[in-house]
Amino acid sequence: MNRRDFVTTTSLAAAAVALPAAAHADTMTTPPAATNPMTTTTTDLPRATRKILIAGGGFRTKFIGYMAQLTGKTRPRVCFLPTASADSTEASLAFYASCAPLNVVPFVQNSFIESLSQTQGWDEVLLSMDAIVVSGGNTLNQQAIWKAQGIDVVLREAWNRGIVLGGASAGSLCWFEEGTTDSRPKALSIVKCMGFLKGSHSPHYDAEAGRRPLYHKLIGRGEMQPGYACDNDAGIYFEDNDVKRVVATRAGAKCYYVSQTAGNVTERVLEPEML
């Protein structure tokens, strides 16, 4: 992977501690068992629990702290992947500021890189992390860049290894098969993503007026699969594709499962626990 090297940015950390947190923007099959029962291979080993923590918006200190707990590590390595924000310096500083009160080792991995100063591949650093937080921003551009760079493949490997993945907005949409996005001009639209989590997703459910009616319309017409909607400051923890816990950092913030039967849309409230 000589042409896919990258930089892990840590020089911003000291400056970030002094700054306030900034606002953020927007099928796998189990490998077959070894054919020779006398031969030990990686397929014989227990598969790691695959973990994803999403939020509709506002993935800051409390969500990162919960993600750190999910790693099971005393001082986990947490990497921020700001591709969707075009490697925004403000987003990276906000991440460092959010990590400052936590017992974590924060990193930032930029995607807009050049090979002359990069000495490690995407896999070398991403797979050395305990958790990976994905920024908000433009989901469509994020997906195109990840696919071109092969980052999507490395993230799937990270998921399969039990590295905790997560984020809000573009950082929550990216894990699903599809969802609603503001990544194109003029109007909200559909974006296709990596499909680690089955079904669809709508972030910012209570914060942007067009999100709920569009999500209902698309699911009601059968143009989008049923799925999960999250208010800002509310989120869902998945193990594989199972909902294990619904959480929030603000009173009144909720999550929902939206589906349809014979064209009739049903919105089931998923009441969260406060972090």
Q: Which of 169, 172, 183, 200 is catalytic?
A: 169
On the question of pLDDT at 89 being above 90, the answer is yes
Q: How many CA atoms lie less than 13 Å away from 253 in the CB half-sphere? A: 24
Written as six digits, the tokens of 41 are 């291979």
List pLDDT tens digits, range 233-273.
999 999 999 999 999 999 999 999 999 988 799 999 999 99
Task: Please indicate, yes or no, if residue 39 is contained in any of the structural domains.
Answer: no
Helix then strand then coil, % of the chain, to nearest 5:
30, 30, 45
Task: Please indicate, yes or no, if residue 42 is contained in any of the structural domains.
Answer: no
Task: Please indicate, yes or no, if residue 59 is contained in any of the structural domains.
Answer: yes
On the question of pLDDT at 204 being above 70, the answer is yes
Domain count within the chain: 1
- Domain CATH number, residue 248: 3.40.50.880
Task: Please indicate, yes or no, if residue 252 is contained in any of the structural domains.
Answer: yes
On the question of pLDDT at 117 being above 90, the answer is no
Task: Please indicate, yes or no, if residue 264 is contained in any of the structural domains.
Answer: yes
On the question of pLDDT at 143 being above 70, the answer is yes
How far apart are the C-alpha atoms of 70 and 237, rounded to whole Å?
Answer: 10
How far apart are the C-alpha atoms of 6 and 115, rounded to whole Å?
Answer: 7
Task: Please tell me the predicted confidence (pLDDT) of residue 45.
Answer: 52
Range of the domain at 156: 2-18+48-274
Reduced to 3 states (helix: H, G, I; strand: E, B; else coil), residue 267 is: strand
Please say if 216 is a catalytic residue.
Answer: no
Task: Please indicate, yes or no, if residue 198 is contained in any of the structural domains.
Answer: yes
Contacts of 35 (CB under 8 A, 6+ apart): none
Task: Please indicate, yes or no, if residue 37 is contained in any of the structural domains.
Answer: no
- Would you give the distance in Å from CA 211 to the centre of its chain? 19
How far apart are the C-alpha atoms of 121 and 67, rounded to whole Å?
Answer: 24
Written as six digits, the tokens of 236 are 């869902």
Q: Which of 24, 172, 201, 204 is catalytic?
A: 204
| Terminal Cα-to-Cα distance of the chain (whole angstroms) | 40
Please say if 24 is a catalytic residue.
Answer: no
Whole-number mean pLDDT of the chain?
Answer: 86
